Amino acid sequence: MSNSKFLQGTRIAPTPISRETTLVELIETTFQAYNAARLREGAQLFAERMLGGDVTVGLTLTGALTPAGLGISAIIPLMEAGFVDWIISTGANLYHDAHFGLGLAMHRGNHQISDITLRDEGVVRIYDIFFDYEVLLSTDSFFREIIRAEEFQREMSTAEFHHLCGKYIAERERVLGLQNQSLLSAAWRCGVPIYTSSPGDSSIGMNVAAMELQGGRLRLNPSTDVNETAAIVLDAKRGGGKSAIFICGGGSPKNFALQTEPQIQEVLGIEEKGHDYFLQVTDARPDTGGLSGATPSEAVSWGKIDPTQLPGTVVCYVDTTVALPLITAYAFAKQQPRPLKRLYDRREALMQRLRDEYARSERR
């Protein structure tokens, strides 16, 4: 029998699946190889290491996740349990999230139906999700209505903008008798800051632009977003803790989350080493050079990931709509809720720490 060091891994000897098999058993004993194994490793990384009491967890969202109901089924529970502390999302995910908080219906559909027929019927399609065109018009009207309020007539970060939107959506949920339908309203309640890396690239941004044509004074400042997200990561490290990034998809939100470390090190000249934990769920390939497929080891070369923490990184090549519910359920089975960090409420204190360290930097 060989004593090779390469034969020290756990022996593949799965337990047969039965009606008594739990989700934890399914993941731990039957997800043995290939992308199933990466999903098992990702679930274990998230539940066993990223959810440590001293870890600040950032979540990024790309792809049409909220229209598929993942805001309600996974993201809101993760926030309420203290398993997600801050978020970077595409604007589209937040726009479609608002449909649920406004009581507007999304339906299962068939992706093979003719889009010409759907257009004639006034039905909009996101692959196999169907909804009435009036859903868009109603949601647009809601955003234009609230953006007219006086508290929006100034410059702010996207986190502050989304916090205010969440307050209004929460009130609409209350009036409609709805509960836990919108991640924007849940983030408002939980003090979870939500940033958008490209605020003009969504229907929310389009409505903000429309209100500017009417004299609206709302200005979303991306520089504030860059500094606030860097401040969140710096505070996590300086407080004796660690920083973890859970990436659903890739794209601009992925880079916006990971660039916090180059912002701290390269631009501001503050000594740091990179994020401690990196978990990505993606269907993008690394060999095309696209960011969505960029690996943790590549991120090390940019200073985005601490090179000593590469064992704390996992990439699962799985559709997010499959992986996120499984990882969420696994985390709830393995961990108790954590106290909410309420990072939104601490933004000014976090920024002051960043300013103080930058003031001592040689890069000024």
Tell me the catalytic residues: 304
Pairwise CA distance, residues 257 & 15, whole Å: 39
> Which CA distances in Å does 237 have to 120, 234, 341?
55, 5, 14
- Cβ contact 77:332 at 8 Å: yes
- Cβ contact 343:195 at 8 Å: no
Pairwise CA distance, residues 181 & 104, whole Å: 11
Pairwise CA distance, residues 152 & 220, whole Å: 10
Closest among 326, 242, 297, 233 to 44, alpha carbons compared: 326
- CB-hemisphere CA count at 13 Å for 6? 0
- Cβ contact 183:97 at 8 Å: yes
- Take residue 37 and report the two structure tokens written for it: 């194994």
- Take residue 121 and report the two structure tokens written for it: 């019927």
For residue 364, give the 3-state DSSP assignment.
Answer: coil
> Which CA distances in Å does 72 have to 30, 76, 118, 310, 329?
28, 6, 26, 32, 13
Q: What is the largest CA-CA distance in the chain?
A: 79
Closest among 164, 154, 162 to 219, alpha carbons compared: 154
Residues 6+ apart with CB under 8 A from 263: 226, 227, 229, 230
- Take residue 329 and report the two structure tokens written for it: 């359920």
In degrees to the nearest 10, what's the CA dihedral of 183, 60, 148, 208? Answer: -140
Q: Residue written as tokens 């993606």?
A: 282
